[in-house]
Amino acid sequence: MRSFETMKQEIDAHYPLYINGEWVEGEGGRMDVACPANGEKLCAVSAASSGDVDRAVRAARAAFPAWRSLPLPRRYDALMEIHGRIVRNMHRLCVAESLETGRPLPVSENMLTMGREHFPYFAALIRSGEDGTNSESCGMRVMVIREPIGVVGAVCAWNVPLLLDFWKLAPALAAGNCVVLKPSSFTPVGTMEFMKLIDGVLPPGVLNVVNGRGSITGQALLEHPGIDKLTFTGSTSVGMSVGLAAARRVIPATLELGGKSAGIYFADMDEQDLSRAVDVIASGALVNSGQVCAMQSRVLVEDPLYDTLVERVAERLRSAGVGAPWREGMQMGPVANREQMNSILEYVSIGRQEGARLVTGGERLTQGELASGFYIAPTLFADVDNAMRIAQEEIFGPVLSFIRFRDEQDAIRIANDSRYGLSGGVFTGDLRKALRVAEAVRTGTMRINGAAGRTMGGSAFGGYKASGIGRECYRTTLDAFSQLKTIAFPY
């Protein structure tokens, strides 16, 4: 039987920084990392000062010439070796992530399975040879080649840390860049366990990890003159600061930011599709405790189906197992930390004040061992107007807002009435209607009738509007980590 203590034994008590292929103590002291399932200390990590960040960037710059010049077959082999080590050590990585995020182990396994596939995907792309030549008039030949940008500064969020690490590391390294990675100060453990696994696979300096607070370590990374590109996943407000830092230095930035996605449910579904719709809606609140940027937290339901769907989803949420990751059969764990819990509960209060009807949930769970963690009951609001704050602002927790619509055009109008455009979905028995709606909603991803939400390599992920700039997980991601050079010569 799993327990907190037995799982905790599988991680280290302290993790230094990883700079230039060596484990080094940071100049910024140590930070404690807590488990959100019970509030207890997991471990400590070294915090990087601005001087540590400078050493990491200098190491990456020194390693860049040799790494960019490495023959493609050898770079391919390195990426495949990283993939193999992840596969062989999945349990240890899943334990680390579940302890620091509080999510059930099967959810962590699913996340890492999706994430690890980006290494073979981008490894295959660099072996496919996309450089090209063409002829111009007057006896001129033009050759277009791909070159790496240089040193990438990568900053990742706390909700799915290793998945986000892999999204950035696989294409950046495949393209021939060196990387300085800063994990979230809330969830650095999985990243450091990953670095232990791959220690020695890459030449020193190619991949460096600096932990620390965003205000010190993160800011030093954003402002460092040795960084040639920034890539960030997190909130829109912080993403704007990252984008401004890149603009001030005229370097590129990839920003994967917030969302307030709409799932659209028409009344023409048969019972089989309706049952699947209930599963999809409920899982949005339960998976990772609703702390997923692509979560379809706005549930748009056609009038004739509205009351039925509200009650069926509410019943599913009430029966969900909520508990610690070491408990078998749990569908949802805690939210990430006390600050996030308080923010979510404040939004619940706002929803009530705005006049939405709280159907289920909305409170902190404190029975038994849950009292020491940051647990919130899966929450469903009905009779929500799309103008309400709970329908417009990203709550990032297990909170669903059910909104009525009249017809197809009304659904599209409501779905697009948002500053975000990251993801979304549509359920209907009419495929032509589904395709019309999917094309009309201004969002980066639309899933029809519960199409799997797996972000494997080959599925472009990113958003419109305030949801960010650029796409991850797709072949064009290599372009975001590359410079294209044209060489013209006579023949």
pLDDT tens figures, 57-109: 999 999 999 999 999 999 999 999 999 999 999 999 999 999 999 999 999 99
Tell me, letter by letter, the H, E, C secondary structure of 328-361: CCCCECCCCCHHHHHHHHHHHHHHHHHCCEEEEC
State which residues form the domain around 324: 262-456
DSSP 8-class letter at 47: P
Give the range among 78-92, 136-150, 230-244, 274-288 with minimum mean pLDDT: 136-150
Given the residues 35, 94, 293, 473, select the one marked as catalytic: 293
**430 in the same domain as 332:** yes
Distance CA 375, CA 51 (A): 38
**444 in the same domain as 366:** yes
Q: Flag whether 464 is in a domain.
A: no
Q: Which amino acid is at 133?
A: T
Q: Would you place residue 433 in the very low, low, confident or very high pLDDT band (cuts 50, 70, 90)?
A: very high
**142 in the same domain as 113:** yes
Given the residues 100, 117, 193, 256, select the one marked as catalytic: 256
**299 in the same domain as 229:** no
Check whether 367 has a pLDDT greater than 90: yes
Number of domains in the chain: 2
Active-site residue, 339 included:
no
**Two structure tokens written together for 374:** 């940051």
**61 in the same domain as 94:** yes
Active-site residue, 256 included:
yes
pLDDT digits (tens, 9 = 90+) for 442-486: 999 999 998 765 566 788 999 999 999 999 999 999 999 999 998
Q: Flag whether 196 is in a domain.
A: yes
**140 in the same domain as 73:** yes
Contacts 24+ apart (CB under 8 A), 8-14: 8/35, 8/42, 8/99, 10/92, 10/95, 10/96, 11/42, 11/43, 11/95, 11/96, 11/99, 11/189, 11/193, 12/43, 12/192, 12/193, 13/43, 13/44, 14/43, 14/44, 14/45, 14/46
**197 in the same domain as 324:** no
**478 in the same domain as 381:** no
**199 in the same domain as 60:** yes
**Two structure tokens written together for 104:** 């059930």
- Determine the angle formed by the axes of helices 118-128 and 72-88, rounding to 10 degrees: 170
Q: What is the mean pLDDT of residues 7-24?
A: 97
Contacts of 211 (CB under 8 A, 6+ apart): 15, 17, 26, 31, 45, 46, 47, 48, 182, 183, 185, 188, 192, 217
pLDDT at 141: 81
Q: Flag whether 419 is in a domain.
A: yes
pLDDT digits (tens, 9 = 90+) for 298-347: 999 999 999 999 999 999 999 999 999 999 999 999 999 999 999 999 99
Q: Flag whether 462 is in a domain.
A: no
**442 in the same domain as 375:** yes
